[in-house]
């Protein structure tokens, strides 16, 4: 197993190609490391400058002090030479963000780079043609996209490795808007050294990572990848999204990161065999990951819907059933308990419909009862926040009930400016929230399938 620690926990980081000029990639990278709150030593490298953003600049890594991690943002042509300098300096980890290698058919320079890398077998290299690493907790942000244009995620339990920088970064941007927590994000690009299999092995041993997400377009070493995935998925759920699965998509993938997309059906079958959870869209990737990282496994397929909007429950029931799940029904004693706190027109059947008059107290009692009732395996709350009688406290109540971790508990609550604020509050406390019943149902199904695979399903 390759040691990747220095990508995520370096004490000193050099930016090779750092620049004092705004909008230059080497400047954006320096700024982002500073804004990310990196506590170690940040060292700009540029032979033409003295000081960059208040930090002393060195002509080359050779002249600088100790460096754990080097970020390379110089034109492709001089990258092999820079790599040799890094190797001689015994730098532990290097991220090459520069593009212009095999992904655009530049085989000559790619070979030169590869040969340089092989001289230093103990130096780990990420890239080229990648965005590198975002590790919020340690203040590592090597992405060269400005922070005011592309948001960064809060700390969390999901780690995410992406072959495509564009796809990876846009997913980070989206997750940041939603306040989904990410532990480690890695854009690995052309993967001349560190590849997706290495990352899988590393993240599986990482205690902070509860779920691994992958975005891959093609595989260089498919057999090894699947072998490792098979082992890892027994310990850590792997959610995978595959780009480039149709014939024409494949053509695009070939040119994009210089790897081969492979036959879609074969690859899908292989994912299944390795017990990976396949997402078929961006939304699904994090939807599955959030539920798998934040919820206990389920003992069965019976879902209790608790709602304050009848129509929403109708749609949600549909999607649960379409996904092979069932509506649960609590026992009479449970209904009696809930009946005491709800209005007479509330419906207590397979769906607990608290109606538009729902209050925090009603949600609390219904959730507590469903958590105890043996007929119920999972809880899906539908909360339409705009109803005038619903107090703001309902958010804290849901967070409190969710923290018990007795049964999977997720929230569906449409979308809108006010509602998104409430959902952000819940996401920050790791309650998975959804805008659409379909997404929620699919995510619970993924949790059910993984629970089944882990032998937790009892009926």
Q: Which of residues 376-415 bind its own copies (CB under 8 A)?
A: 384-389, 414-415
What kind and span of H or E run contains 134?
Answer: strand 132-135
132 binds its own copies (CB under 8 A): no
435 binds its own copies (CB under 8 A): yes
User: Least separation, in Å, of the C-beta of 69 and its own copies?
Assistant: 22
Residue 137 half-sphere exposure toward CB, CA atoms < 13 A: 15
Report the sign of the C-alpha dihedral through residues 51, 52, 56, 60, in that order: negative
310 binds its own copies (CB under 8 A): yes
Whats the size of the chain, residue-wise?
459
For the segment 250-289, give every residue that binds its own copies (CB under 8 A).
Answer: 251-253, 255-257, 280-283
State how far Cα 270 lies from the chain centre.
22
314 binds its own copies (CB under 8 A): yes
Q: At what angle do helices 310-322 and 437-453 cross, to 10 degrees?
A: 40
> What track of x and - describes contact with its own copies for positions 167 through 206 (by CB under 8 A)?
xxxxx-xx-xx-----------------------------
User: Least separation, in Å, of the C-beta of 279 and its own copies?
Assistant: 11
323 binds its own copies (CB under 8 A): no
By CB under 8 A, name the one of 181, 244, 408, 432 that touches its own copies. Answer: 244
> What track of x and - describes contact with its own copies for positions 32 through 61 (by CB under 8 A)?
------------------------------
> What track of x and - describes contact with its own copies for positions 222 through 241 (by CB under 8 A)?
--------------------
User: Least separation, in Å, of the C-beta of 359 and its own copies?
Assistant: 12
The DSSP code for 390 is -
> What is the DSSP secondary-structure string of 170-181?
HHHHHHHHHT--
Characterize the bridge pairing of strands 140-141 and 132-135.
Answer: antiparallel
User: Least separation, in Å, of the C-beta of 458 and its own copies?
Assistant: 22
* Long-range CB contacts (within 8 A, 24+) of 413-417: 413/381, 413/382, 413/383, 413/384, 413/385, 414/312, 414/384, 416/385, 416/386
Interface region with its own copies, contact rule CB under 8 A, candidates 30-38, 66-74, 116-124, 146-154? 146-154
By CB under 8 A, name the one of 20, 40, 296, 416 that touches its own copies. Answer: 416
151 binds its own copies (CB under 8 A): yes
Q: At what angle do helices 79-88 and 107-118 cross, to 10 degrees?
A: 0
């Amino acid at each position: 197993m390759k040691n990747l620690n220095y990508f995520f926990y370096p004490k000193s980081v050099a930016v090779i190609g750092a620049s004092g000029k705004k909008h230059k990639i080497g400047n954006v990278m320096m700024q982002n490391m500073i804004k990310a709150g990196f506590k170690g030593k940040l060292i700009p490298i540029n032979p033409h400058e003295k000081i960059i953003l208040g930090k002393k600049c060195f002509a080359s890594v050779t002249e600088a002090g100790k460096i754990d991690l080097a970020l390379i943002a110089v034109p492709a042509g001089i990258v092999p030479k820079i790599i040799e300098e890094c190797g001689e300096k015994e730098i532990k980890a290097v991220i090459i963000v520069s593009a212009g290698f095999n992904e655009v058919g530049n085989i000559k320079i790619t070979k030169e780079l590869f040969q340089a890398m092989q001289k230093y077998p103990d130096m780990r290299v990420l890239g080229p043609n990648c965005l590198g690493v975002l590790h919020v907790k340690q203040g590592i942000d090597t992405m060269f996209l400005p922070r005011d244009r592309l948001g960064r995620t809060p700390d969390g339990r999901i780690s995410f490795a992406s072959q495509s920088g564009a796809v990876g970064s846009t997913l980070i941007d989206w997750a940041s808007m939603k306040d989904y927590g990410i532990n480690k994000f890695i854009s690995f690009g052309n993967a001349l050294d560190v590849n997706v299999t290495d990352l899988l092995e590393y993240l599986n041993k990482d205690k902070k990572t509860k779920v691994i997400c992958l975005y891959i377009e093609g595989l260089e070493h498919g057999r090894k990848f699947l072998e490792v995935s098979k082992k890892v998925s027994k310990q850590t759920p792997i959610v995978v999204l595959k780009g480039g699965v149709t014939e024409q998509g494949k053509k695009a993938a070939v040119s994009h990161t210089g790897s081969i997309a492979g036959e879609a059906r074969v690859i899908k079958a292989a994912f299944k065999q390795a017990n990976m959870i396949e997402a078929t869209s961006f939304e699904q990737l994090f939807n599955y990951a959030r539920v798998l990282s934040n919820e206990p496994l389920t003992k069965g397929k019976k879902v209790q819907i608790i709602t304050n909007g009848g129509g929403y429950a109708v749609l949600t029931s549909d999607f649960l059933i379409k996904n092979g799940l069932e509506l649960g029904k609590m026992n009479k004693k449970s209904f009696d308990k809930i009946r005491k706190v709800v209005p007479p027109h509330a419906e207590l059947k397979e769906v607990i419909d608290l109606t538009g008059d729902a209050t925090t107290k009603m949600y609390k009692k219904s959730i507590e009862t469903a958590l105890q009732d043996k007929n119920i395996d999972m809880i899906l709350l539908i909360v339409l926040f705009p109803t005038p009688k619903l107090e703001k406290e309902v958010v804290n109540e849901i967070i409190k009930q969710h923290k018990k971790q007795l049964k999977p508990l997720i929230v569906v609550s449409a979308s809108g400016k006010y509602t998104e604020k409430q959902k952000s509050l819940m996401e920050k406390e790791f309650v998975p929230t959804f805008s659409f019943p379909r997404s929620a149902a699919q995510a619970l199904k993924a949790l059910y399938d993984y629970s089944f695979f882990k032998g937790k399903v009892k009926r």
